[in-house]
């Protein structure tokens, strides 16, 4: 029995296996029958499990989960197979037990404020069908941060979001018109187009603790900590920039005012707000902080060696970090 992570070559494969559908019709077989059904499909198609997984656009780990009967087979996969194989095994149709029904919006807290900041950064809210809450991060350098967001979401709303791998990104998604409407109405989050519609919620703006958490979520998704090469005294002294970006100029000005209210000296441009001096960079990480290991690693490196590693230099190490982190969340075997 080989542990599944011995096969790991790309963290995207791991994240595909973390797929949990929020809304999903399933086919329920008697014990042992789902395995027999899938083996019959394999025999009929004369394909390997890897080839079948590729045709279904799922990871091989998900397919092995169906084969081991760790999870029920989705109706959409069953319907796909029905076109080529007439099932002789008894089964019933059902709705997944984890399908959301009623979601209570928790009271405002630091955790919720941080999640709202992340939504304002690389998030998206949609109320039109299919209603969805979505946050997009980079597939390698932000992969462990996405796990933080996933846990934050489940702790706040008591449902597990979907984690979807797509090209160079990983997406956290949750389909619920009720939650999307509540977040939009309660915290003035724009549904659909964000540009010129974003605002720091008033409930957060006037509470220092919540504002710090909100800015942390915003920085972790739409912010960066990078080298600075200008030769002015202030820039040369620090060698770095803490930056929050946004294409929404009015929202950017709100962020600038918020940072200034916390004692920071900022420089605001058309698309970003920056903090330059070393003293204020240290103060930023001490006061606002970060939940994104990418930022935390860069800051640790900066404090230790006086320079900031480029994101491209993090790629290999973060592949390894992601692998180790995933292993900490379970010891799966094939």
Per-position DSSP letters for 164-176, written without gaps between them: EEETTEEEEEE--
Q: Which residue has the tokens 């087979």?
A: 73
Residue with token string 């969340």: 329
Phi and psi at 292, nearest 5°, equal: -95, 115
Token pair 């504002």: residue:
211
Per residue in 133-160, pLDDT tens? 999 988 778 888 998 999 999 999 988 8
Domain spanning 209-327: CATH superfamily: Homing endonucleases (3.10.28.10)
Cα gap 48→57, rounded to integer Å: 14
The β-bridge relationship of strands 91-95 and 123-126 is unpaired
At residue 166, the pLDDT reads 72
Which pLDDT value is given to residue 304? 87
pLDDT of residue 6: 31
Q: CB-hemisphere CA count at 13 Å for 130?
A: 9
Q: Which tokens sit at 164?
A: 């979807």
**CATH says 110-198 is which class?**
alpha beta
152 vs 189: CA distance, rounded Å: 18
Tell which residue, 18, 17, 107, 19, has the closest CA to residue 61.
17
Is domain 23-95 in CATH 3.30.160, yes or no? Answer: no
Tell me the DSSP string of 206-258. Answer: T-HHHHHHHHHHHHHHHEEEEE----SHHHHHH-EEEEEE-S-HHHHHHHHHH
Residues of the chain with pLDDT under 50: 1-23, 95-100, 231-236, 319-320, 322-334
Could you give the 3-state DSSP secondary structure of residue 131? coil
Bridge partners, 273 (sequence order):
244, 268
Write down the pLDDT at residue 235: 47
Smallest CA-to-CA distance from 172 within 122, 217, 211 is with 122
Provide the pLDDT for residue 43. 87
Do the Cβ atoms of 309 and 318 come closer than 8 Å?
A: no
What six digits make up the tokens of 190? 């724009």
Say whether 12 sits in a helix, a strand or coil: helix
Is the CB of residue 26 less than 8 Å from the CB of residue 72?
Answer: yes
Q: Specify the pLDDT at position 14.
A: 37
Q: Copy the structure tokens of residue 293.
A: 């290991």
Who contacts 323 (Cβ-Cβ below 8 Å, separation ≥6)?
5, 8, 11, 14
The answer to whether 23-95 and 209-327 have equal CATH topology is no
Q: Domain residues of the chain, as ranges?
A: 23-95, 110-198, 209-327
Nearest one of 326, 124, 287 to 221, comparing CA atoms: 124
What was the pLDDT predicted at 70? 65
């Amino acid at each position: 029995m080989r542990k599944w992570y011995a096969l790991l070559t790309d963290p995207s494969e791991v994240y595909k296996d973390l797929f949990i559908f929020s809304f999903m019709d399933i086919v329920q077989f008697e014990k042992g029958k789902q395995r027999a059904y899938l083996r019959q499909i394999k025999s009929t198609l004369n394909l390997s499990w890897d080839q079948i997984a590729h045709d279904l656009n799922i990871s091989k780990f998900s397919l092995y989960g169906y084969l081991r009967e760790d999870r029920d087979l989705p109706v959409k996969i069953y319907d796909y197979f029905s076109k080529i194989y007439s099932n002789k095994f008894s089964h019933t149709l059902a709705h997944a037990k984890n399908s959301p029904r009623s979601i209570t919006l928790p009271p405002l807290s630091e955790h919720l404020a941080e999640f709202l900041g992340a939504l304002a950064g690389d998030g998206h809210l949609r109320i039109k069908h299919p209603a969805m809450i979505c946050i997009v991060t980079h597939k390698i350098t932000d992969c462990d941060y996405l796990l933080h967001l996933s846990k934050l979401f489940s702790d706040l709303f008591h449902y597990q979001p979907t984690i979807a791998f797509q090209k160079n990104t990983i997406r956290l998604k949750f389909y619920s018109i009720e939650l999307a409407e509540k977040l939009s109405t309660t915290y003035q989050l724009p549904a659909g187009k964000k540009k010129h519609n974003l605002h720091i919620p008033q409930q957060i703006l006037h509470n220092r603790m919540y504002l710090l958490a909100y800015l942390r979520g915003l920085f972790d998704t739409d912010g960066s900590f990078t080298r600075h090469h200008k030769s002015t005294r202030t820039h040369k002294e620090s060698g770095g920039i803490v930056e929050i970006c946004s294409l929404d100029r009015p929202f950017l000005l709100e962020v600038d005012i918020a940072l200034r209210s916390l004692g920071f000296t900022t420089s605001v441009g058309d698309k970003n707000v920056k903090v330059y001096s070393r003293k204020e960079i240290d103060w930023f990480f001490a006061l606002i902080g970060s939940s994104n290991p990418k930022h935390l690693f860069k800051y640790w490196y900066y404090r230790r060696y006086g320079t900031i590693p480029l994101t491209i230099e993090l790629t290999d190490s973060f592949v390894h970090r992601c692998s180790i982190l995933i292993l900490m969340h379970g010891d799966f075997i094939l």
